[in-house]
């Protein structure tokens, strides 16, 4: 069951809403940010939190200030990254015994990596649910330049039909990052991890693959036994 919280993103800024899902057998906490167009209660994040809870992974979801106030314009990187830092600090205070990883969907993941490239103490790894490498139809890799400064392990969960991350480009970025980056491709999935009906796959099976991959990756370096 989700527990409602409030987080202060920084001096002079109003508190934002947050939710923590903490299963009794939790061994990991994922600080999970939403994308640019939908908040922390979006059905994708709800499903992700549920799938992870079934696997003993707690999640802390939170609103960026723009979503909290109802603004249609995404926060600036400075504001968004400060929010990421505040959320990770909150996670560490709420569950000091749990290892913490951070990231999120699209914009949320990119803002988390921006914060980590500067300083994100306490986050032992980053998980991207569809890293938005470039706008649709405008392929490029400049949005990934800052990832060279991220020192913790990174997991990229990407759909092969993601219009925000041309497949050869995201593959090249991960190769450049070397052992710090792991790339897992969801065959046929788009940026929202939707798959065509002809694939025969259900939404639940995609969520299971995402959650299982995250768990396997985290166990590989955090050192928690199965």
pLDDT tens digit string along 23-69? 999 999 999 999 998 999 999 999 999 999 999 999 999 999 999 99
Closest CA to 163 of 196, 199, 137: 137
Q: What is the CATH number of the domain that holds 76?
A: 3.40.50.1820
3-class secondary structure, 169:
helix
Distance CA 116, CA 123 (A): 8
222 pLDDT band, cuts 50/70/90, is: confident
Number of domains in the chain: 1
pLDDT recorded at residue 224: 61
Distance CA 158, CA 92 (A): 28
Q: Tens of pLDDT along 121-149? A: 999 999 999 999 999 999 999 999 999 99
Domain boundaries, position 187: 2-222
225 pLDDT band, cuts 50/70/90, is: low
Q: Percent of the chain, pLDDT > 70?
A: 96
Q: For residue 25, what are its two tokens?
A: 């057998």
Q: Are 169 and 158 in contact (CB under 8 A)?
A: no
What distances in angstroms separate CA 27 from CA 38, 128, 217, one per listed residue?
A: 28, 20, 14
pLDDT recorded at residue 199: 86
């Amino acid at each position: 069951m989700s527990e409602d919280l409030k987080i202060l993103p920084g001096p002079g800024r109003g508190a934002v809403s947050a939710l923590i899902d903490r299963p009794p057998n939790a061994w990991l906490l994922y600080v999970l940010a939403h994308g640019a167009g939908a908040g922390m209660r979006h059905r994708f994040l709800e499903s992700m939190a549920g799938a992870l809870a079934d696997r003993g992974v707690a999640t802390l979801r939170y609103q960026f200030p723009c979503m909290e106030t109802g603004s249609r314009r995404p926060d600036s990187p400075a504001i968004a990254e400060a929010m990421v830092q505040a959320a990770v600090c909150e996670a560490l205070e709420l569950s000091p015994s749990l290892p913490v990883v951070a990231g999120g969907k699209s914009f949320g993941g990119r803002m988390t990596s921006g914060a980590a490239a500067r300083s994100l103490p306490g986050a032992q790894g980053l998980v991207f649910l569809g890293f938005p490498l470039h706008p649709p139809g405008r392929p490029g890799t400049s949005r990934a330049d800052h990832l060279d400064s991220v020192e913790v392990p990174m997991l990229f969960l990407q759909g092969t039909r993601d219009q925000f991350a041309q497949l050869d480009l995201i593959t090249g970025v991960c190769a450049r990052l070397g052992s710090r980056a792991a790339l897992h491709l969801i065959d046929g999935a788009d940026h929202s991890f939707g798959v065509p009906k002809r694939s025969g796959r259900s939404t639940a099976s995609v969520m299971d693959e995402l959650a299982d991959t995250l768990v396997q990756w985290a166990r590989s370096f955090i050192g928690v036994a199965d």
